Every structure is written in C-alpha cells, then in structure tokens.
Amino acid sequence: MKNLIVGQSGGPTAVINCSLYGVIKEALSNTSQIPVVYGMLNGIEGFLKDTVLNITEDMSEETLEGLKITPGAYLGSCRYKLPEDLSDPVYPELFKKFEQYNIGYFFYIGGNDSMDTVSKLSRYAAAHGSDIRIMGIPKTIDNDLVLTDHTPGFGSAAKYVATTVCEIGIDASVYDSKSVTIVEIMGRHAGWLTGAAILARKYEQDNPVLIYLPEVPFSQDKFISQIEENLKTRNNLVVCVSEGIQDDKGTFICEYASDAGVDNFGHKMLTGCGKYLENLVKDRLGIKVRSVELNVSQRCSTSCQSLTDAMEAETGGRFGVSKALEGQTGMMTAFVRNEGDTYGLSYTLVDVNEVCNKEKTVPTEWITKEGTDLSKEFINYVLPLIQGSPSVPTKDGIPAYVYRR
Amino acid sequence: MKNLIVGQSGGPTAVINCSLYGVIKEALSNTSQIPVVYGMLNGIEGFLKDTVLNITEDMSEETLEGLKITPGAYLGSCRYKLPEDLSDPVYPELFKKFEQYNIGYFFYIGGNDSMDTVSKLSRYAAAHGSDIRIMGIPKTIDNDLVLTDHTPGFGSAAKYVATTVCEIGIDASVYDSKSVTIVEIMGRHAGWLTGAAILARKYEQDNPVLIYLPEVPFSQDKFISQIEENLKTRNNLVVCVSEGIQDDKGTFICEYASDAGVDNFGHKMLTGCGKYLENLVKDRLGIKVRSVELNVSQRCSTSCQSLTDAMEAETGGRFGVSKALEGQTGMMTAFVRNEGDTYGLSYTLVDVNEVCNKEKTVPTEWITKEGTDLSKEFINYVLPLIQGSPSVPTKDGIPAYVYRR
C-alpha cells in the first residue's frame, strides 16, 4: 500500500483542475491500494520545500467538486526544470522525500516542460530500481503536445477565442464606417489557438477575415495589402494574429515593437505584435484601427469552459491513475480520436520520453489562402472540442470558484 | 394609427438589444395602435439616408428572440450629434421623413449623447406643434446617467468585470513569487465599472487589493508606495485602475504614456494607463508585472450577461412604449430602486432634458481607504445588478447570436 502525490506545473488552463479532480477521485476510490492522496503545492519546487497538502484528510467534498469549474492551478504551479544530469543531488533528495511520504504514485499535470520532469524522474527511478510509478497528465492551451489527438485545456481556450472574437466582431461592426480590429491570440510557436478564431464566423465572408498563424512567415507589406484589398468590399475588418508571428528572417513581429517604443523611464515599451500592427495600419492606411490582446482570460475563463474539454480532462486523469495501479510508469495519458464521422475519444498511454521537448504545429495543408485562412479539415478537427457548457454554481453572482488560503 | 420607429446610438452593450426587444415586442402587441414597427439602421444618421428596416414584415420570430442574447447593436449605431440650433434645416428634413413613414412614436436607445438627440427632437416637435412622441431608453455600461438608479448595460459589464478580475486573480496567484497584475477597466469619468471589480473578492484581503477610480486624483508616487506596502504581506497583487484616472493637475495618466513612447514610424505609441503603470512598477520596483486591458469584451460579453440586467432592459423598453401610447413624450425610462432589504425595481419616466449632458459619478463617501477601496454601501448597490444568468442557445458551440447581412 503506497500513497499517491499529484502536482501541477506550468501555465494554468480552464480545466487543469478537472485533470486534478480526475486523478484525486480515482485515487480516493482505491483506498485499499492508495491510503493517502497528497498534493504538492507549487509543483516539484514546493515539494522540495515540503509544502504538501493531505488531500484525503483536508479537502472537503465541496472543494473537490468546485475544482471542476475553477480555473488556475488549485495546488499552485511552478516553472522548475530538473537538471539534465541525473547524478545531481536533487534526485536522491526527491526520492528520499517520496520515501518519507510513502509515495508509490507520482502524478504531474502539465505541458512540455512538465513531461520533461516526468521523463527525468522515471528514468532516474528505473536506473535506481525504484518502483515508484511516475506518470504525466497532459495540459496546455497551446495544443502542441505530440502523440495525442489534442490536449486538455485547448478546447476551452478555443471556445473562449471563438466566442470572444465573434463578440468583438459584432461590437466592431455597429458603425457604418471603415475600421480594422486586430485581435492578438496566445500561442508562441503553434497556431492552434489562433486558428480556432475561424469558429467565430457565423457565415462565409464573416469576420474574422484574415487569420495569421506563426507557422507562416509574416510579411508586413503583404499584411497591409491584404487589409486594403478586403476593405474595398466591406466596412469593418477583424484580423486575428498569433502572438508568435515572425517574418521570414525569424524575427518575432513583437520584437519590432519593443525596438520601437522607448518610455520616459528610458526603457523599451514592451508590447505585443497586435499593438505594433495597430500602429502599422494607422501609419500606412490612416484608418480607424484598434487592437485587442485577449491576454490571460484565454486560459482562465470558466464562462467559456468547454464541457467536452472538462470531461476529457477528468477522464484522462482517472485513466492515468487506473493504469498506474496496473503497474504503468514513465507514461503520459493521451487521446486517440475514434474513426468515423461522430466525434468520440479513446484513452491510451504514450512513452513520456517521446512527448517531452517536442512540438506539434498546425499542418501546412490545413492553412489556406496564402496563409490567412484555415481549411474545412481544421474546422472539423477543432469544432467537437468546444462543445457543451458546464452547469456552473454561483456565489454572489459570479462562479463559485474554490481556493486555498 | 401611427407607426413606431426605433434606433440605437452610441457604444454597444451586452443588453442594448434586450431594450430593443422590449420596445419591439410591446409595439408589436399593440397593432391596433401601431400598424408598423420600423428600425433605423445606424441611428439617426442612417435614417437621414433612408436606411430603414421594416421590423413588422422582415424580422423573423427567431431573430427577435435571438436579440436577447446578442451583444452589439443589432440595428447598427452612430455617433451623430444634432445641431444645437433648432432652426437648422436637418430638423424639418427629419420631420418630413417621419411623415413619410407615418411615424407617431420615435424611440432612441442610448446614453448621454443619445438623450441629447431625444431632447432636441422633442423640443423641436413641441415648438412646431408635432404630435410625434419622442422617447429615450437608457443604455450605458458607464452607469453615469442621472435620475435613474442605474442604467441597462451596467449590470452585465459589472458582472464581466467581477468575474474576469476574479479569474485573473486566480491565474496570477499560481506561482509562489512576488508579482503585480494591473487590470485596466473602462469608464473615462465615472468609476462605477472599475468599482465593480470589488465583487471579485472571495474573502476579505483577497484580490483585487487596490482599486483606483477616476473620482480620486491619482498620485504615481502614492500608487507605488501602496503596492510596496501590500507586497510586504502577500505575493501576488491584483490592482484595478479605471482608464480615466488622472492626477491632481487633471492630466489623464494615459496621456503620460502617449507622451512617452514614439514608435518607429515616428508616431506616439498610444497605450492605456495600464501599460504605462506596468512600466512604472517595473522601473520603480523591478518586480514581475503584467497589465491586462479588459477592452471591448466588457461591453459585449454574452457569457457574462446578467439576467437581472437583461430583464430590466427589456422591461424598460416595454414600459417606454406603453407610456408613449398613453401620450408621454420627451421622456426617458428610468429605474427606481424599491425601499427595503430585498432588491426590487419600479419603472418611471424622467424629463429627458434633465438627463442629457449630465454625469453621475461614484459618491465620495462610498470610496474608502485613501481612495483605493469601496464601501459596503457600494457593494450593496452593485451586487443585485449582476445576479442571474440567461439560458443561452448555442450553435456550433458558441452562442447563437443573430445578425443582419
């Protein structure tokens, strides 16, 4: 009989706590094998400082259920990278702590970097004959993990982007005059989330008209001429850009912005590419232009949580625990989309070493119209992931989020 | 038997179409007195160009019902100010058009400037013996209209602010390190909406810790020392600022920003006060800081629509029509909060001339802690207005917004 410890790492999402819920619920339902469920506070970094929560004893049923609609990372997060050198003293230190808490199951919920942690710990365990089962649960709004159809967190972020871009388009279209609205969307290297803006279109030709992904080299001149061209036949243009767009020299467009402005403290004004492009349009075309940075709400909005995403996150967490109990280790829960026209998902495990430090971008053949639009295949891929809305309990008019104090 | 025409004007809100719905529904249920309901497209400006929609004939039941969850201005909007001089030829031109459409009832949904339009048209009508009844329906997220307890649009915007600031606070608190997050909220002269951020607090001492309204002169030095003071006892600080904060000389803080940055087109980098303060904190305190501009989503989010707000907007629209049928003109629908502990609202009419070009700000006695917090009275005032969520029909995973093409 060994205990389980679970932690969260990297940037938060709208459903990372659903994954946590799944891991906890499945573990709590196996008390004969898992006497105590622990949570690391602030991931592996907090664990090294012994900040550990006894979930079995100290988490109320109400809090546990509330996790499903609470964004952020309930246990706290960290951005701690374990050393490459497995002979570093931090490893025996960690495994001594595991022993101290009688840990037999280690779960880490996170993205690329977190899977790197899972990889290193599982390799160390294997090399030192430890039987602790080290498992990864995927999470990232960027949807850039390989070997899984998609990642928990992406569906809700995509739903936020689609809904918000649609609302911004409605808002931007109320006046009978020419205007450009530039929406900057998260995703430094992969355009999945920016691409999801296409789901905002209510009919063909509707906004957003132009969508720029980081997968396609960005040309400022072409951008301006594409806007000019589209303004010939319509009034209000909504344009979506990934924060990570870069030109053919590999320079991020937002870097041009930071080269540009110097504030009156003598510092560079760091702004995103949206603000930079707003100024570019104003300069070149002299028309009304606004930029909107969707910012952190993309990854923490409960109002736009996708029920599909939430349920898949929970099931993925449960699946990982059930497989660890069967003896698996060094694996990450992954999603396999079922064949056929009706959306359905199967769960599997993949070798975490094959996942970490790799990146899945949008296939080139799904990017159309000179890099400004997305294909039907892309829409068919994303659409099922944003379906359904959870029933959200409220307190004083806002969602009844749960919290640690 | 005379027809009714309705228009929308000024910036959109999440419920301006609920007001429109109320006006239309009430008018359509009185066909014996009102044979045809028309909509001006793009307000009075569009009406002058004869862009008129025959709602009775051309609006489907589905579209009509969809108005209730669709943000923006379904009929389109304008920012057209009628001349002060009532002998300007535009007035007889307008009244000739009214005659052409056999208009007996003119409804204008909007804020301060729109009430100015209602005032001028009603005074012109009175002076020229016209019996057209000219009525105003209030709308503004700023909540700055006088003679009404609050304005339709404010409750939903307040709910968006409270919900989003709470989520941003959760998102900002995942790491175990010092950070400052500055949230910039709409409201150039009145701090109602920024103040609503206080509803994000889940417990005393919770974020947002500091709230700065435009009603209080803003000191950059004091701002920095208040942040420093609070960081002594806590890690992650969320600070809310109104876009309209200004110093004791009356200079908007965002003006310092635009004085500061010059982009590489040689233009001023126009940013909000949030970005400016982000740079100020970075410069003075050298800690991790981020700014988030809530931007247009504050006024166009269906996900955070307040059912109370939506229903009051509809009822206000209906009330105005019923009163116009009784013979009223030159009036605006207004809200009176019932006495007692349980929230309830009565509807009344106020003289539109007493409303336009005035501004209601947050009472000084409701602003506490050296201008960085709000009193219990403020909370009691706002809290009832954000209650309830509409049932939102969806299409392809996002709300089934209706639109004109």
For B184-240, how does the pLDDT look when each residue is reduced to its tens digit (9 = 90+)? Answer: 999 989 999 999 999 999 998 999 999 999 999 999 999 999 999 999 999 999 999
Given an 8 Å threshold on Cβ–Cβ distance, is A174 in contact with B397?
Answer: no
Residue A300: its chain B contacts at CB < 8 A? 167-168, 170-171
Compare CB distances from B170 to A41, A72, A170 and report the shortest one's residue: A72
DSSP secondary structure letter of residue B110: E
Residue A73: its chain B contacts at CB < 8 A? 174
Average pLDDT, chain B: 95
Sign (positive or negative) of CA dihedral A277, B301, B164, B280: positive
Compare CB distances from A283 to B257, B265, B306 and report the shortest one's residue: B265
Compare CB distances from A397 to B77, B162, B398 and report the shortest one's residue: B162
Q: Is B281 exposed, middle or buried, given 0-12, 13-18 or 19+ CB atoms closer than 10 A?
A: buried
Instruction: Compute the distance between CA of residue A191 and CA of residue A187 in angstroms, rounded to an integer.
Output: 6
Compare CB distances from A260 to B167, B259, B264 and report the shortest one's residue: B264
Question: Which amino acid does the sequence have at A132?
Answer: I
Instruction: Compute the distance between CA of residue B130 and CA of residue A108 in angstroms, rounded to an integer.
Output: 74
CA of A73, closest CA in chain B: separation in Å?
Answer: 6
Residue A176: its chain B contacts at CB < 8 A? 41-42, 45-46, 76, 78
CA of A64, closest CA in chain B: separation in Å?
Answer: 17
Structure tokens at A12: 């938060």
pLDDT at A272: 87
Are the C-beta atoms of residues B193 and B161 closer than 8 Å to each other?
A: yes
Compare CB distances from A396 to B79, B174, B383 and report the shortest one's residue: B383
Given an 8 Å threshold on Cβ–Cβ distance, is A398 in contact with B159?
Answer: yes
Q: What is the mean pLDDT of residues B71-76?
A: 97
Residue in chain A nearest B171 by alpha carbon: A72
Instruction: Compute the distance between CA of residue B209 and CA of residue B369 in angstroms, rounded to an integer.
Output: 11
Residue A170: its chain B contacts at CB < 8 A? 12, 70-72, 300, 401, 403
Instruction: Compute the distance between CA of residue A144 and CA of residue A154 in angstroms, rounded to an integer.
Output: 9
| CB within 8 Å of B316: residues ≥ 6 apart | B19, B22, B137, B138, B152, B333, B335, B347
Residues of chain A with pLDDT under 50: 259-261, 264
Q: How far lies B353's CA from each of A384, B9, B116, B357, in Å?
A: 53, 17, 8, 9
Residue in chain B nearest A256 by alpha carbon: B264
pLDDT at A270: 57
CA of A269, closest CA in chain B: separation in Å?
Answer: 7
Compare CB distances from B283 to A265, A297, A394 and report the shortest one's residue: A265
DSSP-derived secondary structure for A97-151: HHHHTTEEEEEEEESHHHHHHHHHHHHHHHHTT---EEEEEE--TT---TTSS--
Given an 8 Å threshold on Cβ–Cβ distance, is B70 in contact with A405?
Answer: no
Instruction: Compute the distance between CA of residue B146 and CA of residue B360 in angstroms, rounded to an integer.
Output: 5
pLDDT band at B256, cuts 50/70/90? confident
Residue B263: its chain A contacts at CB < 8 A? 257, 260-261, 276, 279
Q: Is B266 exposed, middle or buried, given 0-12, 13-18 or 19+ CB atoms closer than 10 A?
A: exposed
pLDDT at B260: 47
Given an 8 Å threshold on Cβ–Cβ distance, is B303 in contact with A299?
Answer: no
| CB within 8 Å of A367: residues ≥ 6 apart | A191, A213, A215, A216, A373, A374, A375, A378
Residue B267: its chain A contacts at CB < 8 A? 279, 282-283
Instruction: List the catalytic residues of A.
Output: 142
Helix and strand counts by DSSP (H, E) for chain A: 14, 15
Q: Using DSSP, state whether A400 is helix, strand or coil.
A: coil
Q: Across-strand partners of A395?
A: A398
Q: In what order do the strands lie in the sheet with B236-242?
A: B210-212, B236-242, B179-185, B288-293
Choice among B116, B142, B144, B373 that is catalytic: B142
Given an 8 Å threshold on Cβ–Cβ distance, is B72 in contact with A159?
Answer: no
Helix (H) or strand (E) holding B107: strand B103-110
Instruction: Compute the distance between CA of residue B6 and CA of residue B19 in angstroms, rounded to an integer.
Output: 10
Helix and strand counts by DSSP (H, E) for chain B: 14, 15
Instruction: Compute the distance between CA of residue A273 and CA of residue A275 in angstroms, rounded to an integer.
Output: 5
Helix spans in B294-402 (H): 297-300, 307-325, 376-382
Given an 8 Å threshold on Cβ–Cβ distance, is B167 in contact with A259?
Answer: no
CA of B378, closest CA in chain A: separation in Å?
Answer: 14
What separation, in Å, do the N-terminal and C-terminal C-alpha atoms of chain B show?
Answer: 31
Number of residues that make up chain B: 405
A contact test, residue of B62, B269, B284, B309 with most A CBs within 10 A: B269
Residue B292: its chain A contacts at CB < 8 A? 295-297
Cis peptide before B208 (omega within 30 of 0): yes
What separation, in Å, do the N-terminal and C-terminal C-alpha atoms of chain A show?
Answer: 31
Structure tokens at A123: 């390799």
pTM, two decimal places: 0.96
Instruction: Encode burial over B65-104: b for 16+ CB neighbours within 10 A, e otherwise.
Output: ebbbbbbbbbbbbbebebeeeeeeebbeebbebbeebebb
Placement of tokens 């009714």 in the chain = B4
Instruction: Compute the distance between CA of residue A309 and CA of residue A14 in angstroms, rounded to an integer.
Output: 9
Compare CB distances from A170 to B70, B167, B263 and report the shortest one's residue: B70
Residue in chain A nearest B294 by alpha carbon: A294
Given an 8 Å threshold on Cβ–Cβ distance, is B261 in contact with A279?
Answer: no
Q: How many contacts, defined by CB atoms under 8 Å, are there between A and B?
A: 210
Q: What residue ranges in B254-370 does DSSP mark as E strands?
A: 288-293, 331-337, 345-351, 367-368
Given an 8 Å threshold on Cβ–Cβ distance, is B295 in contact with A296?
Answer: no
| CB within 8 Å of B337: residues ≥ 6 apart | B149, B343, B344, B345
Instruction: Compute the distance between CA of residue B105 and CA of residue B324 in angstroms, rounded to an integer.
Output: 7
Instruction: Compute the distance between CA of residue B45 and CA of residue B79 in angstroms, rounded to an integer.
Output: 8
Given an 8 Å threshold on Cβ–Cβ distance, is B170 in contact with A300?
Answer: yes
Given an 8 Å threshold on Cβ–Cβ distance, is B262 in contact with A261?
Answer: yes
pLDDT at B272: 87
Residue A387: its chain B contacts at CB < 8 A? 397
Placement of tokens 């690391």 in the chain = A40
Instruction: Compute the distance between CA of residue B77 and CA of residue B42 in angstroms, rounded to an integer.
Output: 4
CA of B262, closest CA in chain A: separation in Å?
Answer: 5
CA of B127, closest CA in chain A: separation in Å?
Answer: 32
Instruction: Compute the distance between CA of residue B360 and CA of residue B192 in angstroms, rounded to an integer.
Output: 9
CA of B228, closest CA in chain A: separation in Å?
Answer: 19
Given an 8 Å threshold on Cβ–Cβ distance, is B306 in contact with A397?
Answer: yes
Instruction: Compute the distance between CA of residue A71 and CA of residue A86 in angstroms, rounded to an integer.
Output: 34
Residue B200: its chain A contacts at CB < 8 A? 398
Complex ipTM tops 0.90? yes
CA of A75, closest CA in chain B: separation in Å?
Answer: 8
Q: What is the mean pLDDT of residues B96-109?
A: 98
Residue in chain A nearest B173 by alpha carbon: A76
Residue A382: its chain B contacts at CB < 8 A? none
B342 has pLDDT over 70: yes
Structure tokens at B304: 């955070």
Residue B163: its chain A contacts at CB < 8 A? 302-303, 398-399
Are the C-beta atoms of residues B38 and B93 closer than 8 Å to each other?
A: no
Structure tokens at B58: 């051309």
Structure tokens at A233: 């036949």
Q: Is B142 a catalytic residue?
A: yes
Cα–Cα–Cα angle for B21, B25, B26, nearest 5°? 120
Compare CB distances from A261 to B164, B175, B261 and report the shortest one's residue: B261
CA of B131, closest CA in chain A: separation in Å?
Answer: 30
Q: Using DSSP, state whether A316 is helix, strand or coil.
A: helix
pLDDT at A158: 98
Structure tokens at A104: 């037999």
